[in-house]
Structure 1
Amino acid sequence: MSKLKFEVKNDEAGMKLREYLKKNAQLSTRLIKGAAIQGRIEVNNKVEKLNYVLKEKDVIGFEVRKEESQNIEPEKMDLEVIYEDCDLIVVNKSPGIVVHPTKSYPHGTLANGLIYYFRDKGEDCIVRLVSRLDMDTSGLIIVAKNQFSHMALARDMQKEEFKKSYLAVVHGNIKESEGTIDLPIYRPTDDSIKRVVDERGQKSITHFKVVKSFEKGDLVRLTLETGRTHQIRVHLSHLGHPIFGDNLYGVEDDSQLIKRQALHAYRLVFPHPRSGELIELESSIPKDIEELIKEISS
């Protein structure tokens, strides 16, 4: 089902098609304009112009599917698909995989694998990332299959019901069992990879709860209210409890315990772009983090 459908109500009659799609259907100006140019907007099964005046019980059809291409080479890859429909796909990314091709990583990225996956299924989709993860962070990533779902998901990320939660294993035992870290994060220089807590930075809020304490550390659940680069890693390091394996923000060499930062995006809650129904998804803790927990428990 690639077409969005709306039936005009009595109090909506008299509106122009453009106004209805923007205000009532909450579609972006860019999306509406592109669809109109390509003849993908119909009223009562007939292509209409955006200045068409709507009548009660008119049925608007908005075709979200269109021909698209992307300069990403398809590469066969084992993908763990957690959820999929005609609008989006959620995959559980393994650690050590870059999300999108870069100069340093032109191949072997999640996007390469997704393009192959789409083509193999006969779907003419491009990779529209709704969320991203660092190369060494594992977990759930949302990818939109069309421009409409990307627009809707990006818009809804600002809503309270859109939640991204992580699990991390940190050095030491946090004094408070739960709380909120509200500290601004700043990028010192344009070429700096590392971020710092600094009053000149952007407002950054992380909610945390200690799930379990061990002799040498804690398993912590973290939920983001904002989404700054390296936010969880910066906040936990600033508290004096860096994540195990975090070579950028940690203070110890943990390579004998784990080969990457022990951070996993384990839970997503978000409204579906088409139906508005809340989607709740979870993934289990990866094996390397489980092994780390065993080590610091003894």
Structure 2
Amino acid sequence: MKHIHTFLVSTEHQGLTVEEYIRDVLHYSGRAIQRLTRTKSIRMNGKSVYLQKKLAAHDQITIAEPAEDTYGVEPQQGAIEILYEDTDVIVINKPPNMLVHPTGQTEQGTLANYLAHYFQTRQTIHRIRPLHRLDRDTSGCILFAKDAKTQARLEQQMHNGELKRTYTAIVDGCPTAKKGMIDARIGQHPAFPNRRAVVPEGEPAITRYEWLETAKDAALLRISLETGRTHQIRVHMAYIGHPVTGDRMYGKRSAYISRQALHAACLRWIGHDDQPLEVRAPLPLDMKRLWERKKAASDPSSDSAF
């Protein structure tokens, strides 16, 4: 069984080759185009076509994609909180202390396993495709594409900066400036293989932050990413002397929260109809309670923002 997608070439795109149209307009990856070519799944005006054929306005491109036959992970019953869903994507509010996808010795109990079960109960098959990852102990929004075409389109948005991720964090101490940008390369830690560090030979990494509230020995920050390096927020905040509260890898333990106080609060991207979408995840209870403690320690008479 195959899914048939039909596209009518507009005047704007006449003169492109078939390959350019499928890659740049329909946002299929190079690998996907190779697969479609091997299986002779691309047709123009009802006939087989080669990739370098020039298009004219009103040509009809048809792509026959094989139906998904696997989730890529084992479906497993478990609770998930859906923040948004349409025909292309689904956004889940990931709880802390949970992996996004099976890794190493962990093959079950992940968000991907539970999402596969959710799809299974609705008698649909979508390979589990997270567009980004969150650390085990980080909570909040995570976006999954339902098909390869959507995945390629959203990956391009990430590359172009159109897919934006905003986090809420509680950090030790308070940055001097109300707003700041951290531009420091991140690479492998020279001594610990499972860690990252700011190193001259690392990959470019840019993090922006701004105060939401401050307390005597802490700050509640809004943080946005311009790049997506492993552990980027945690490494950068520790680098400027304000590690995420409770971060045992890059900071220190906290008596009041059992994980790093980091939450993926908001996702923004462009939907399939070219309309902007925004999804938010409310701050989890453990971070609310932590901030209430921080505020009370600073001024017992103050009211929390929550």
Counterparts of 1:200 and 1:11, CA distance in 2: 43
Q: How far did 1:13 drift?
A: 4.9
Report the CA distance between 1:119 and its aligned residue: 1.1
Match of 2:287 in 1: 289
Q: 1:248-296 CA distances to partner (integer Å, 9 max, x unpaired)? A: 0113x31x20010000000111122x32322111111000000101111
Return the TM-score normalized by structure 2.
0.88
**Are 1:32 and 2:30 matched, yes or no?**
no
Alignment match, 2:267: 268
State the 1:94 CA deviation: 0.3
Point out the more displaced range, 204-213 or 177-186.
177-186
Alpha-carbon offset, residue 21 of structure 1: 1.9
Asked whether the equivalents of residues 39 and 47 of structure 1 are also in contact (C-alpha less than 8 Å), the reply is no
* Cα distance in structure 2, aligned partners of 1:108 and 1:218: 33
- Residue 129 of structure 1, CA deviation: 1.4
Report the counterpart of residue 247 of structure 2 in structure 1: 246
Q: Which amino acid aligns with 1:104?
A: Q
Task: Sort the Cα spacing of 1:23 and 1:74 in 2 relative to 1 into closer, same or farther, 3 A.
Answer: closer
The 3-state SS of whatever aligns with 1:68 is coil
Identify the residue that residue 134 of structure 2 maps to in structure 1.
133
**How much does 1:238 deviate?**
1.3
TM-fit CA distance, 1:104: 3.0
For structure 2, the residue ranges without an aligned partner over 5 or more in a row are 297-306
1:153 equivalenced with 2:151 (yes/no): no
Looking at structure 1, the residues matched to 12 and 236 of structure 2 have their Cα atoms a distance apart, in angstroms, of 49
Deviations 1:63-89 (A, max 9, x none): 456233245211111111111122111
Given that 1:96 and 1:137 are in contact with CA atoms closer than 8 Å, whether structure 2 keeps it comes out as yes
Q: Which residue matches 1:18?
A: 19
Equivalent in 257, 278, 281 of residue 280 of structure 1: 278
Mapped contact 1:40–1:47 kept (Cα < 8 A): no
Name 1:115's counterpart in structure 2: 116
Structure 1 position 12, deviation (Å): 4.8
Q: Secondary structure at the match of 1:104?
A: coil
Percent identity for Structure 1 against Structure 2 = 34
- Please give the residue correspondences for 1:72-91 in structure 2 after superposition, counting only pairs within 5 Å: 72-91=73-92
Q: What SS does structure 1 have at the residue aligned with 2:269?
A: strand
Match of 2:159, SS?
coil
For the 8 Å contact 1:208–1:223, the answer to whether it is kept is yes
Match in the other structure for 1:258: 257
User: Over the residues paired in the alignment, what is the CA RMSD in angstroms?
Assistant: 2.2
Match of 1:158, SS state, is helix
TM-score (norm 1): 0.90
Instruction: Indicate the residue corresponding to 1:180 in structure 2.
Output: 181
Q: How far did residue 111 of structure 1 move? A: 0.8
SS of the residue aligned with 1:157? helix
1:31-110 equivalence runs, <5 A:
31-44=32-45, 46=46, 48-51=48-51, 54-64=55-65, 66-110=67-111
Q: 1:111 to 1:212 in 2, by over 3 A?
A: same
Distance 1:59 1:170, change over 3 A: same
Aligned residue type for 1:287: L
Please report how far the alpha carbon of residue 183 of structure 1 lies from its aligned counterpart in structure 2 after TM superposition: 1.1
